[in-house]
Structure 1
Amino acid sequence: MSAAHWIVAGLLALFHLYAGGLKAVRSRERLRPMMAWVDGMPMAAVRAIGGVEVLGAIGLVLPRLTGVAPWLVQVAAVGFAVLQVSAIGVHLRMGDRQVALNALLLLTAVVAGGLAAVS
């Protein structure tokens, strides 16, 4: 596997592992300063999104690392792309126009998926 893929997938996995872990364990009050959108969603949904992010982060790295079902890396990358498109929609619906981070994460997921396909 190429070094470029490991760098891109690794950074994307670290970001989502951290963000997903926060969503999975922190209270609404502790998430609000970083993620104002949590007020508009049930905490069960926030926790589910956190769990999906943690599982996706594992899916970006573990299959290639172990050699078991390496195609799952592309599935995880597509899942993160869908997650970010949805996140942009939520932000825009709530009147929050600060979607640059989500757009960057979307682009990173697409690149990670593409690099996984060619390596």
Structure 2
Amino acid sequence: MNVALWIAGGLLAAVALTGGISKTLIPKAKLSAQHGGEWTAAASVGFVKSLGILELLAAVGLLLPAVLDIAPFMVPVTAACWIALMVGAMITHGRIGQFRLVLLNTVYLALAVFIAWGRFGPWSFGG
């Protein structure tokens, strides 16, 4: 199970890194023209960039604390924060009818729930 949790953490970190880089570095006008980025048209540049930074921090927080054994409790805390982020993403995509993206966000949410459950519980790094 520990290996499955590491794999889930790695997959979710890759998703967070990809989303964070795109929201932080790609101009909002270009993001809003891409499939899945339409929601950015109604959001401020600062909000989009802030989400991107949060996603970059999540990518780091899902793996690095455990790898370096510095505050490994941050891994499940980061996963719990990702759950909140995915609920927001699901609501946002649902409002504009992007139900395929809602389903994709549900998969990301499930991975985060799995990581939070495992790392807060039976496979925590403290035990």
- Length-normalised TM-score, structure 1: 0.93
Residue 95 of structure 1, CA deviation: 3.6
| Structure 1, 81-90 or 30-39: larger mean CA deviation | 30-39
Residue 107 of structure 1 pairs with residue 88 of structure 2: no
Query: Which of 35-44 and 25-34 deviates more?
Result: 25-34
CA separation in 2, counterparts of 1:54 and 1:107?
19
In the alignment, what sits opposite 1:31? 31
| Percent identity of paired positions between Structure 1 and Structure 2 | 33
Distance (whole Å) between structure 1 residues aligned to residue 73 and residue 57 of structure 2: 15
Q: CA deviation at 1:40?
A: 1.4
- Structure 1 unmatched runs, 5+: none
Task: Give 1:97 shift.
Answer: 3.0
State the distance in 2 between where 1:10 and 1:116 align: 14
Aligned to 2:57: 55
Contact map agreement 1:4 1:115 (CA 8 A) in 2 = no
The one-letter amino acid of 1:45's match is F
Deviation of the 1:91 alpha carbon: 1.7
* Count of aligned pairs: 119
Partner of 2:5: 5
TM-score of the pair, normalised by structure 2: 0.87
- Residue 113 of structure 1 and its aligned partner are, at CA, apart by 1.2
Instruction: Give the equivalent residue in structure 1 for 2:69.
Output: 67
CA offsets per residue over residues 78-119 of structure 1, 9 Å max, x none? 010000001111122334333111111111110111222222
Gaps of 5+ in 2: none
Q: Distance in 2 between matches of 1:116 and 1:17?
A: 21
